Amino acid sequence: MLSFYIKSSEETEAELSTSIKRGLSYREVSKRQKDYGENSLKADETFNWWEVLLDQFRDFMVLVLLAATTVSGLLGEYTDAITIIAIVVLNAILGFYQEFKAEKSLQALKELTAPEAKVIRDGEITEIPASEIVPGDIVYLESGDRVPADIRLNKTRNLEIVESSLTGESLPVKKHEDRLSSTPDSIGDINNMAFMGTMVTKGSATGIVTDIGMETEMGQIAHMLADENQQVETPLQKRLANLGKVLVTICLLVCIAVAFLGVLRGEPIYKMFMAGVSLAVAAIPEGLPAVVTIALAVGVQKMMKKNALVRKLPAVETLGCATVICSDKTGTLTTNKMIVDEIYTPLLHYHNNTNNGHSFISSNHKKVSPKKNKDLNLCFQIVALCNNTLYTKEQGIVRGEPTEKALLQAAVDYNITPLSFSDITYLDEIQFDSNRKRMSVFYKDDSNQVVMFVKGAPEVIVPRCKKIITDNKNGELNHKTTENIMQKNEEMANKALRNIAVGYKVISYDDYKNKNEKLEDLENDLIFVGLMGLLDPPREEVKDSILKCKKAGVTPVMITGDHKATAIAIAKKINLFSKNADNKVMDGKELDSLSDRELNQKINNIRVFARVSPKHKLRIVSALKDRGNIVAMTGDGVNDAPAVKSADIGIAMGVTGTDVTKGAAELILADDNFSTIEAAIEEGRGIYDNIRKFIRFLLSCNFGEILTMLFGMLMGLPLPLKPIQILWVNLVTDGLPAIALGVDPKDPDIMKRKPRDPEEGVFSDGLFKTILGRGLLIGLITIFTFYRALELQPDHLDFARTMGFSTLVVSQLIYVFECQSVRSGLSLAKVIKNPQLIMAVIASFMLFCLVVYIEPLAQIFDTHPLNLENWMTILVLSLFPTVFSVIYGKIKDRIF
Ligand code: ATP
């Protein structure tokens, strides 16, 4: 880093050949992008294609298989060994391709959720991906932003930045724009620069980018940036990996026992070794891990299409367990397209007469104008001046928070803008924050008087007022007028309006200078001007989503900083309250008065938290979690990040959310919409169901194969299936239908079930019994076919094996359609809905025919061509397990 901190911003501007006012030109930007490259940390690129490829062979199960194959190769079974290795490699390539695609889409997701930056280019403010920034760019920073590069600050407004990622210091650092007189001891003392990767927690600023990418301070320590973005394994993947290990261990023990017993019985060692290898091959569900990864990746993509961006893979599973969704009101349950609908002042009550824009009439139906109506004029002036929306002469309202924008728009519609005041100079401001629930700005006039304009929640502002505006001069605010105002506030809130009180006060310059010490006092004795009621209509689609959630056993809870009455009015409109239920509403004050134990007792009945601030959210999450809930919590502001992080499923807003909150979240809503959460829960449940479907399929088949081999050994028969035959089934003919099960459409009743218990195992609900039962049936018919064929043609082992092999494959390909539901059996309606599965079954069958009828393959696989009669026998026998389970199911239903 060049020492820009000891240079003035003008010197920096000159040195970097840029213009603070207009920024760089687009032509210059593209030139610099070529010269300096992309603004990213190389360490971020954790994704390597060859690592993914290597990973395919790192799997424990695959390793065991390769070891066994090597031994069989050493024992002289070259063809078998080579074929097994070829199949393993083919499988690895398929797995690699799928995983590569999956990783790519996750990578794309990462890019989608990557931070953006606001820059001035060619005189206009635009938002661009942070990676496109170049040195010399003029960047605009505000609370909640992640600093996109190293920046020499040029103009700051109460800027505070947390630099813990760089310095380890967790307290925010106050920043300014003045040059430093000497080189500071440590980077933590460079207070006129903002560094890449740090977080703006307060205020705003503009600055000049001095360094990007690996040249930044963060770039120097890039390796320390253990990226929170990393996709960890989901609990299910971990459990399956463990299951794989258990299966392999058990199977190895069984193999050793069987081989040992065989040798004791006088069988040749080589034959027993092959039996062991075959058993190992049969027992290991080789395809399972790959299919799970694919199903998860496909699920993530589906969610992305529905505007839910998954940042951490485990969320896909946890979503299906959610029992409570705590949602912000503004923007998530409502549209966030606000307009000022009513204005009340002690003189008149005004109503907006139009849906698009602002055109007020007074309650006595007289046409109004700010010229005639001084109270209205003052309201507009205050919201134009006490406002941190970015407003420019050329572009009008450029950007800002919806509340701020709506208030300013009302004023702008009456030709009052922040630029209309040439006689006063801006001094400073205390920005709005949800804890203080108010905002104050300070302006100086020609006579050196300081005027403080304040706006905020009526309950906070009105008690701080001492006077009200009257027709000609200011009047005292007595008890009765206060009551009147608060009653009006209540009436407006009952109409779902979000009210903001506005006022002002003249203070001395000395008081202004010492404002930080006695702010609380300074913000007292205000002159009350009026209440501005903002209409923020509920999102239409949310009503349905809330009903769906309730049916699915997921309780939606509204959390809002707004007034109780506003919150209740909206809650009623969106079906949040349930009939016959104890729909409790609690406000921040009450919450503060309760102990943790008391809150725990009450929390399950509360549907609306009103007038709460972000700090309350953390308590709400903990209390809900203590009561055994799986909590999803939304958030947007910096202050929301701790609650979002501590929730089971942290959800950040994609549009209004700050980078800090997005960084803490598992899920990002691209459209900030509550309905997207509901859709994501539905998808999450569907994905989990599908995983269970192919677990049911693959493990039943594996178990069937193990039993076939065991029965064969116990009956003293030759090996019923050769290792490569089993491997062909496990990896090829089973694999395709299993992947197709992974994209099976969701059960129509998926949102009518209660949420899944996260502690519940994958095999819950009788899945294990189903697997064992079906495995047994498959094993029995396969060994029966093999045995009968061998009995009929004792000299034709190849033929008997082919008959057994075919019965195994066909019965599995029929069974896969039963697995389309986790619980029940075959359903034609479901079969039709998944054409991919039908195609996969046809493809699998053709692949199977390949090794039976195509000569060189038939030789390698030791198969024998079958005639029509053989096929009829195979078909009848293969249908047996399905017919049996249908009849068994019917009898069971009758008896129980
Ligand atoms: P939700 O949690 O539903 O999103 P919220 O976050 O909008 O609610 P806050 O932003 O904390 O809630 O707002 C609380 C109250 O503060 C509002 O009811 C309003 O009276 C007031 N308020 C909101 N925004 C501003 C603002 N920009 N300036 C002044 N007062 C505001």
The phi, psi pair for 862, rounded to 5°, reads: 55, 45
SS3 assignment, position 609 = strand
CA atoms within 13 A on the CB side of 637: 19
Percent of the chain with pLDDT over 70: 92
Q: Which residues, 6 or more positions from 763, have their beta carbon under 8 angstroms from its beta carbon?
A: 695, 771
Q: Which of 404, 437, 438, 672 to mutate to test the pocket of ligand 1 (most atoms within 8 A of CB)?
A: 437
Find out whether the beta carbon of 492 lies less than 6 Å from any atom of ligand 1: no
DSSP letter, residue 449: -
688-724 CB burial, b ≥16 within 10 A, e <16? bbbbbbbbbbbbbbbbbbbbbbbbbbeeeeebbbbbb
Q: What is the C-alpha separation between 325 and 317, in angstroms, rounded?
A: 15
Residues with Cβ within 8 Å of residue 356, at least 6 apart in sequence: none
For ligand 1, say whether the CB of 434 is within 6 Å of any of its atoms: yes
First to last CA, the chain: 77
Report CA-CA distances (Å) from 888 to 771, 773, 812, 819, 825. Answer: 15, 11, 19, 16, 11
30 pLDDT above the threshold of 80: yes
The rounded distance, in Å, linking the Cα atoms of 551 and 565 is: 26
Residue 96 in contact with ligand 1 by CB distance below 6 A: no
At 281, give phi and psi (nearest 5°): -60, -40
d(CA 194, CA 36): 20
User: What are the counts of helices (DSSP H) followed by strands (DSSP E) for the chain?
Assistant: 33, 27
Q: Is 431 a pocket residue for ligand 1 (Cβ < 6 Å)?
A: no
Residue 197: the pLDDT is 83
Q: Is the confidence at residue 510, as pLDDT, over 90? A: no
pLDDT tens profile 351-384: 998 877 888 888 777 778 888 888 999 999 999 9
Atom 26 of ligand 1, residue of closest alpha carbon: 432
Measure the CA–CA gap between 115 and 141, rounded to whole angstroms: 12
Between 784 and 237, name the one with better pLDDT: 784
DSSP string, 868-886: HHHHHHHHHHHHHHHHHHH
Type of residue numbered 503: G
332 touches ligand 1 (CB under 6 Å): no
Query: Tens digit of pLDDT for each residue in 776-804?
Result: 999 999 999 999 999 999 888 999 999 99
pLDDT digit string, tens, across residues 669-704: 989 999 999 999 999 999 999 989 988 999 999 889
Expressed in angstroms and rounded, the spacing between residue 495 Cα and the centre of ligand 1 is 17
**Which atom belonging to ligand 1 lies closest to the Cα atom of 386?**
28
Please indicate whether residue 456, judged by its CB atom, sits closer than 6 Å to ligand 1: yes
* Domain 232-304+686-895, CATH class in plain words: mainly alpha
Q: In the chain, where does the domain assigned CATH 3.40.1110.10 lie? A: 356-532
Question: Up-side HSE of residue 887: CA atoms within 13 Å toward CB?
Answer: 6
Residue 19 scores a pLDDT above 60:
yes
Regarding the beta carbon of 383 and ligand 1, being less than 6 Å apart is answered no
Ligand 1, atom 30: nearest CA belongs to which residue?
A: 456
Q: Is 534 in the pocket of ligand 1 (CB under 6 A)?
A: no
Instruction: Report the side by side order of strands in the sheet with 606-610.
Output: 308-310, 667-669, 649-653, 631-635, 324-328, 555-559, 606-610, 584-587
In contact, 425 and 444? CB cutoff 8 Å: yes
Say what the pLDDT of residue 106 is: 58
> Is the C-beta atom of 498 inside 6 A of ligand 1?
yes
Whether 610 contacts 621, CB under 8 Å: no
Cβ atoms of residues 450 and 509 within 8 Å:
yes
CATH 1.20.1110.10 placement within the chain: 232-304+686-895
Strand-pair partners of 492: none
Residue with CA at minimum distance from ligand 1 atom 9:
561
CB-side neighbour CA atoms (13 Å) of 228: 14
Better-scored residue on pLDDT, 833 or 114: 833
Q: Identify the residue whose C-alpha is closest to ligand 1 atom 19.
A: 457
Q: What is the distance between the alpha carbons of residues 333 and 523, in angstroms, rounded to a whole number?
A: 33
Residue 458 Cα to ligand 1 middle (Å): 11
Placement of tokens 């590569």 in the chain = 100
Helix, strand, or coil here: 750? helix
Please identify which residue in the block is written with the tokens 């008149």: 348
User: 712 and 289 in contact (C-beta within 8 Å)?
Assistant: no
Q: Which pair of structure tokens corresponds to residue 137?
A: 């760019």
Query: According to the model, what pLDDT value does residue 42 have?
Result: 64
Counting from 1 in the atom list of ligand 1, the atom nearest the Cα of 331 is: 4
CATH of domain 356-532: 3.40.1110.10
For ligand 1, whether the C-beta of 324 sits within 6 Å is no
Rounded to whole angstroms, the Cα distance separating 208 from 155 reads 10
- Residue 117 Cα to ligand 1 midpoint, Å, equals 25
pLDDT at residue 846 above 90? Answer: yes
Interval between CA 455 and ligand 1 midpoint (Å): 11
Mean pLDDT of the region 799-810: 95
The C-alpha atoms of residue 325 and residue 2 are separated, in whole angstroms, by 49
Per-residue pLDDT at 224: 46
Atom of ligand 1 nearest to the CA of 333: 3
Which secondary-structure segment (H or E) carries 318? Answer: helix 314-319
Q: What confidence score (pLDDT) does residue 246 get? A: 80
- Number of Cβ within 10 Å of residue 436's Cβ equals 17
* pLDDT band, very low/low/confident/very high, at 887 (cuts 50, 70, 90): confident
Total Cβ atoms within 10 A of residue 313: 21
pLDDT tens-digit series, residues 70-91: 776 776 667 767 777 776 777 6
Location of structure tokens 């088949």: 701
Percent of the chain scoring above 90 in pLDDT: 43
Long-range interactions of 586-590: CB distance < 8 A, separation 24+ = 586/610, 587/611, 587/612, 588/612, 588/613, 588/616
Which residue of 204, 382, 434, 589 sits with most ligand 1 atoms within 8 Å of its CB, as the best mutation to test the pocket?
Answer: 434
The residue whose CA has the least distance to atom 21 of ligand 1 is 457
> From ligand 1's centre to the CA of 128, what distance in Å?
28
The whole-number pLDDT of residue 230 equals 46
Determine whether the shortest distance from the Cβ of 639 to ligand 1 is under 6 A.
Answer: no
Whether 500 is in the pocket of ligand 1, judged by its Cβ within 6 Å, is yes
Closest C-alpha to 563, from 479, 635, 455, 491: 491
Which segments of the chain belong to CATH 3.40.50.1000?
Answer: 309-335+539-672
Q: How many CB atoms within 10 Å of residue 678?
A: 26
Report the separation in Å between the CA atom of 263 and the middle of ligand 1, taken as the mean of its atom positions.
80
Locate the ligand 1 atom nearest the alpha carbon of residue 401 and give its number: 27
Atom of ligand 1 nearest to the CA of 458: 20
Provide the CATH topology of domain 309-335+539-672.
Rossmann fold (3.40.50)
Range(s) of the chain covered by CATH 2.70.150.10? 4-43+107-218
Tens digit of each residue's pLDDT (9 = 90 or more) over 713-729: 888 888 888 878 887 88
Is the pLDDT at 223 greater than 60? The verdict is no
Phi, psi of 311 (to 5 degrees): -90, -30
Q: How far apart are CA 700 and CA 825, in angstroms?
A: 14
Q: 472 in helix, strand or coil?
A: coil
CA distances from 645 to 313, 425, 665, 691 (A): 15, 41, 6, 27
Spatial separation of the C-alpha atoms in residues 61 and 80, rounded to whole Å? 18
The pLDDT confidence band at residue 579, using thresholds 50, 70 and 90, is confident
Long-range contacts of 796-802 (CB under 8 A, 24+ apart): 796/864, 797/718, 798/862, 798/863, 798/864, 799/864, 800/720, 801/720, 801/721, 801/722, 801/725, 801/862, 801/863, 801/864, 802/852, 802/863, 802/864, 802/866
User: In angstroms, rounded to a whole number, what is the distance separating the alpha carbons of residues 80 and 721?
Assistant: 13
pLDDT at 883 over 50: yes
**Active site amino acids:** 328
**What band does 597 get if pLDDT is binned at 50, 70 and 90?**
very high
Q: What angle do CA 383, 387, 390 make, to 5 degrees?
A: 130
328 CB near ligand 1 (under 6 Å):
yes
Three-class SS of 496-563? CEEEEEEEEEEECHHHHHCCCCCHHHHCCCEEEEEEEEEECCECHHHHHHHHHHHHCCCEEEEECCCC
Which residue owns the Cα nearest ligand 1 atom 1? 560
Please give, one letter per residue, the 3-state secondary structure of 208-233: EEEECHHHCHHHHCHHHCCCCCCCCC
In the numeric block, the tokens 């000159």 are attached to 14
Which of 344, 462, 562, 615 best tests ligand 1's pocket when mutated (most atoms within 8 Å of CB)?
562
Tell whether the model's pLDDT for residue 490 goes beyond 50: yes
Residue 227 pLDDT? 45
Q: How far apart are CA 811 and CA 448, in angstroms?
A: 92
| Whole-number Å distance between alpha carbons of 810 and 584 | 58
Single-letter code of the amino acid located at 722: K
Tokens 């070829």 belong to: 86
What's the CATH number for 4-43+107-218? 2.70.150.10
The tokens for 515 are 């404002």
Instruction: Give the number of the atom of ligand 1 that is nearest the alpha carbon of residue 562.
Output: 18
Which amino acid is it at 416? Answer: I
Nearest CA to ligand 1 atom 20: 457
Mean pLDDT of 168-193: 85
What pLDDT sits at residue 885? 86
Q: How far is the CA of 511 from the centre of ligand 1 (A)?
A: 28
Please answer whether residues 313 and 753 qualify as being in contact, where contact means their C-beta atoms are separated by less than 8 angstroms.
no
Q: What spacing in Å lies between the alpha carbon of 115 and ligand 1's midpoint?
A: 25
